[in-house]
Chains A and B, each alone.
Chain A
Amino acid sequence: MTGESLYPVLEPLLAQIQKPIQYVGGELNSQVKPWEDVAVHWALMYPDAYEVGLPNQGLMILYEVLNERPDALAERTYAVWPDLAALMRENAVPQFTVDGHRAVRDFDVLGVSFATELGYTNLLEALDLAGIPILAEDRDETHPVVLAGGHAAFNPEPVSDFVDCAVLGDGEQVVGDITDVVKAWKAQGRPGGRVELLARLARVEGVYVPRFYAVSYGPDGAIAAVTRTRDDVPVRVSKRTVMDLDEWPYPKTPLVPLAESVHERMSVEIFRGCTRGCRFCQAGMITRPVRERTITGIGSMVEQGLKATGYEEVGLLSLSSADHSEIGQLAKELADRYEGTNTSLSLPSTRVDAFNVTLANELSRNGRRSGLTFAPEGGSERIRRVINKTVSKEDLVRTVTTAYANGWRQVKLYFMCGLPTETDEDVLEIADLAVEVIKAGREASGSKDIRCTVSIGGFVPKPHTPFQWAGQASADTIDHRLRVLRQKINEDRRIGRSIGLRYHDGKPGVIEGLLSRGDRRVGRVIERVWREGGKFDGWSEHFSFDRWTTAAAEELAPFGVDLDWFTTRERTEHEVLPWDHLDSGLDKEFLWDDWQDALSEEEVADCRWTPCYDCGVCPTMGTEIQIGPTGRSLLPLTVV
């Protein structure tokens, strides 16, 4: 008998650990379906702590979509903290789902969503706790199919030893196709065992099965070729794209945890994809084209979601929310609708222009104006042309000043460090900018009680972007630039005390870089690090740079490559990249030309408002841009 609840054996352990609430399930809008009623059982994992994983929209969407099927069930599992993991090993309690407390090993499919590559060691930890062999080749037909999704799955090569499949692109429809395949194979008595199941899955559009592709390497250490080993699987695997977001209004009933999570609000995705063309941004490249949800579709999701959750804040989510074709009207009409209800609306603001301030003012009409966030990303106008996020210094200062003048007390500015072609001077301009912002802000607001927080992350080149060929800046370079920046900001204390600087050292970024652009040889490094105790690599208190560098040096040496080869080395035009056989729709030629344009500081416009610049996505994928305006509007609600 499988699918039994492990709660009775888990409960005594919960009394001995920190934050036991994260393991008990029972969140509002969670569900537990009877095991025997369905043909296909999915365990969905977010490979990080519960407080980070629970609010993840992708997982919530798939959880609902799958549970709506009468022939499937889906339950959730998260990375277990080391305190409970130790007790579980001691007491032989396996990795479990938080919904039914069922053993993950009992499920047919374990789907893992990778938002970041730093979750890879947590995958190995979960597999091991679950009693599932960590190497895909050691599994038989009694083990779940281990499937990776999320943005990192666009280069799953570093984890190809551990996962059975990777799914590229939007998950809503492909999870149904996978369910159908697994259901049919089980109903037929599992013909051909695990290999046959995987071969059938490999023929589902968007599903990549690494074991059916062989990689060979040349004398220089680079990949010579990637070739399929069976002729019934595709030469290149294409991503999935969901068209018409209004047909997919998920999550309809978002999960509400009892425990505290990183996002104490409900989110509604207002569009998917982005064509701003920021060259560093993997999300903007791999999720094309832009598909908007309509204003009325958004209005009903907000309304239904608030009723179902009791949240007091709604975030209007997307990669660049101010770019929705009906955003002005949407902000006004939602603000009208929820005026006087103590419901607040927020927009993750990234673009730097005055319109964003207007929107934020509307959404905070009668609420506190505490902080507003802008993301210029690059410190100098020159580097902003390189990354294609063009905004002049004057516009930036004017926008931020407008924010202070409108009563916003704190402005956060996001930047990156270590961008291609960057020099110390580019980064030092961040200090000039922050100083000007504070001076102008003090004048505009008539108050010294304003702050500007500069938040800087180290840039990590990602697959399927124009920067996929770039040499990554070393940790030393990043640390040096952050040091000189800090010194410069602190030069004038009268201004500097109003400027906060938030940053991380460059080391985790280097490992993220290895895992992002790595190939199959990196798998050994991941396994070694995990065996030596590595997990929760996204958490500074758990991350060990030395463990990673030692493992990388020793495990990669037999192949004649090293950490630098994967990170700081600039690639040449015709090098076979580990993800070349995975099709995000973008033409490699377009990406190369865009990379060359970046180096010569040439910008490219957004194809929503200018002619198509042939990135390749729409014709390759048979998709199109879907934007409004629809001309519709939100009616006031009689009962809120």
Chain B
Amino acid sequence: MARQPDGPPPPPTVQKLRIRYAKRGRLRFASHRDLARTLERALRRAQVPMAFSAGFSPHPKISYLGAAPTGAASEAEYVEIGVAERCDPEALRLALDAALPPDVAVLEVVEAGEGTGSLADRIDTSVWRVELPGVVLADLAPAVEKFLASDAVTVAKRTKNGLKDVDARAAVVGASAAEEAGCAILHMVVRQVTPAVRPDDVLAALAAVADLRPPLPPRAVREAQGRLDDTGTVADPLGPDRAVRTRCQGEHAAV
């Protein structure tokens, strides 16, 4: 008979909280695993009453949603946690933000709304902004046009199993070129498909169709994530939870 942990099972999850955070500055070089480790330690330092799984090596209840790639910054990363004691979302936001490195900012914490479904179902698209230092609009704009005019642009993508050909075009719902302070900016809306099409892949595609080769490494920022609706808008994934909360508060106010 294998050993079992003594004592009662760990307390159950009483509340789920959904967190939006940003990774900025130097921490754009953090990988998903780096951020997960950092977040777990910060939750401990912030003394958040996490709910844990049962068994000999209990794990805190944390679900990560698709992370921005290493090297890319993001203003819209999402994670969901389960706690064993109810927490005030704003107090938790402040405590967690203080416990995390300055380059990780906790932007919003909301309680998961009852009956609003899973967070993962509300995210299928990313909005990207890519700064291209050393590239001017006059070079970027025609490249983007050529890319959009193509039916498919195959690029070689490095995966765990070596190089793999991927179509970088199909996942791109929209793209446009702009310029700020003499630096070309690529804006794009990209569906989260498998295998993932990342900013690097689109840039490789621009090199393939228009020979656009930035002299300096581009900087990508994920500005938003959410579900793409028929009008081409990316909806805020925390919107439904916020709506439930507002409604509850409204009811309380009426009492």
Contacts and interface: CB of A to CB of B under 8 A. Distances in A.
Contact of B52 (A21, A28, A342): A342
A193 to B, nearest CB: 39
A7 B45 CA distance: 29
A259 B41 CA distance: 13
B63 interface: no
B160 interface: no
Nearest to B220: A15
A407 B3 contact: yes
Interface string B31-66: 101110110111111000000100011101000000
A21 B29 contact: yes
Contact of B41 (A14, A19, A25, A256): A256
A345 B125 CA distance: 43
Interface residues of B, number: 34
Contact of A28 (B34, B43, B60, B101): B101
Contacts of A23: 29
Contacts of B26: 7, 24-26
B216 interface: yes
Contacts of B29: 14, 20-21, 23-24
Interface stretch (A105-113, A121-129, A361-369, A602-610): A361-369
A368 B40 CA distance: 20
A307 interface: yes
Contacts of B6: 366
A264 B40 CA distance: 13
Contact of B217 (A15, A25, A312): A15
A280 B35 CA distance: 42
B71 interface: yes
Nearest to B59: A342
Given A258-B34, A260-B37, A368 B56 contact: yes
A7 B29 CA distance: 13
A303 B90 CA distance: 28
Given A15-B217, A20-B71, A26-B103, A342 B41 contact: no
Given A310-B99, A366-B6, A369-B3, A24 B45 contact: no
Contacts of B99: 310
Given A310-B45, A366-B7, A24 B33 contact: no
B177 interface: no
Q: How large is the interface on A (under 10, 10 to 19, 20 to 34, 35 or more residues)?
A: 20 to 34
B27 interface: yes
B29 to A, nearest CB: 4
A227 interface: no
Given A21-B29, A368-B57, A258 B52 contact: no
A15 B132 CA distance: 13
Given A21-B34, A24-B29, A310 B70 contact: no
Interface string A289-324: 000000000000000000111111000000000000
B115 interface: no
A24 B41 contact: no
B5 interface: yes
Contacts of A20: 29, 70-71
A581 B45 CA distance: 49
Given A342-B58, A367-B56, A258 B217 contact: no
A558 interface: no
A325 to B, nearest CB: 30
B148 interface: no
A218 interface: no
A369 B6 CA distance: 13
15 contacts: A16-B217, A19-B31, A20-B70, A20-B71, A26-B103, A258-B30, A259-B34, A260-B37, A307-B45, A308-B45, A309-B45, A310-B44, A342-B60, A367-B5, A367-B57
Interface of A: 7, 12, 14-16, 19-21, 23-26, 28, 256, 258-260, 264, 307-312, 342, 366-369, 407
Given A7-B26, A28-B41, 9 more contacts: A12-B216, A14-B29, A20-B29, A24-B27, A258-B27, A310-B40, A310-B41, A342-B58, A342-B60
